[in-house]
Amino acid sequence: MSDRANFGHDTTTDQVLEGIDLTEARALVSGGTAGLGVETARSLAAHGAAVTLTARDMDRGETVAAGIRESTGNQAVDAMELDLASLASVRAFTDAYLARHDTLNILINNAGVMGCPELKTEDGFELQFGTNHLGHFLMTSRLVPALLKGAPSRVVALSSRAHHMAPVNFDDLDFSARGYNKWVAYGQSKTANILFAVALDARLKERGVRAYAVHPGVIETELSRHMDEADQALLNARAEQIGNWRLKPVAAGAATSVYAATAPELENQGGIYLEDCGVAPIENESTSHGVRDYALELSTAEHLWQVSEDLVGESFSF
């Protein structure tokens, strides 16, 4: 049995899931075609869960799903099409998902885009806020009936330590006033991911649905696809400043997601931020760990919820 009390930076998905039987669980992982999403889906399937992963490119999605079926022997793994940068795609996906499954136990909001040039989603939102937050906001809210039916169930929002870089600026969500900064935009979207977990947990905890936000660590994946040399230099300088800092392999990077999704010791907690397979402290100064208090404020989370409903043009009465 894994020594759960000693989980930390190097703990892997399979160590987190050792001794945990997911054969009755149905899981959904957004962004299952690369990086952490592939390993998250694989590890959940390896421990028995029925897993749907989402893909923008269905050829890629089918290939990953087939690979997981083969490596785990679990045939209950499939791929479905989803582009979070299109509200129409999110609505089509959730309709299709709910037509197939009325129950969901584990939802991992994993997909994300980082540090891209100034771009808009199909509906005109700044791309990082639109994809990382609004797409997941709409998707999760539309899946709540299945999460309630599957209760006890959990939602995990992939955030990032980059949330330290920016709170949500409600006066200039799309950077039309302050001028676009790709890192502030990423940070804002990752703070929104935490606030979403806080608001969702507050709404649903009495009915057995708990929500968590996660910083996975720093892992070499395709997330860096938009980074140029100047970005790399910035990152190196920041790493230098933080000191004692190590990359994680993907199996350790996905571990905090599956920890949040399954750890028995989190049963009576939610609306919290985790890193290195544990609950992170509130930390307003350090750049090396912890969660900023502005990301956990319930009043801000509720405000973001209302603003998000207005932006996607749909309100939710659960």
Ligand X SMILES: NC(=O)c1ccc[n+]([C@@H]2O[C@H](COP(=O)([O-])OP(=O)(O)OC[C@H]3O[C@@H](n4cnc5c(N)ncnc54)[C@H](OP(=O)(O)O)[C@@H]3O)[C@@H](O)[C@H]2O)c1
CA distance 258 to 27: 11
Task: At 210, list the tokens.
Answer: 């708990």
Q: Which residues contact 95 (CB under 8 A, 6 or more apart)?
A: none
Residue 268's SS3 state is coil
> C-beta of 22: minimal distance to ligand X in Å?
21
**134-139-141-145 Cα dihedral, nearest 10 degrees:** 180
Query: Between residues 139 and 204, which has the closer beta carbon with respect to ligand X?
Result: 139
The strand order across the sheet containing 26-29 reads 77-81, 50-55, 26-29, 106-109, 153-158, 209-215, 272-275, 278-279
> C-beta of 45: minimal distance to ligand X in Å?
16
Q: Which string of DSSP letters, residue by residue, matches 164-218?
A: GG----TT-TTSTTT---HHHHHHHHHHHHHHHHHHHHHHHGGGTEEEEEEE---
Give the residue numbers annotated as catalytic, written as ranges: 186
CA distance 187 to 190: 5
Tell me whether strands 50-55 and 153-158 are parallel, antiparallel or unpaired: unpaired
Binding site for ligand X (CB under 6 A): 31, 33-37, 56-57, 60, 82-85, 110-114, 131, 158, 160, 215-216, 218-219, 221-223
CA-CA-CA-CA torsion sign (279, 20, 223, 305): negative
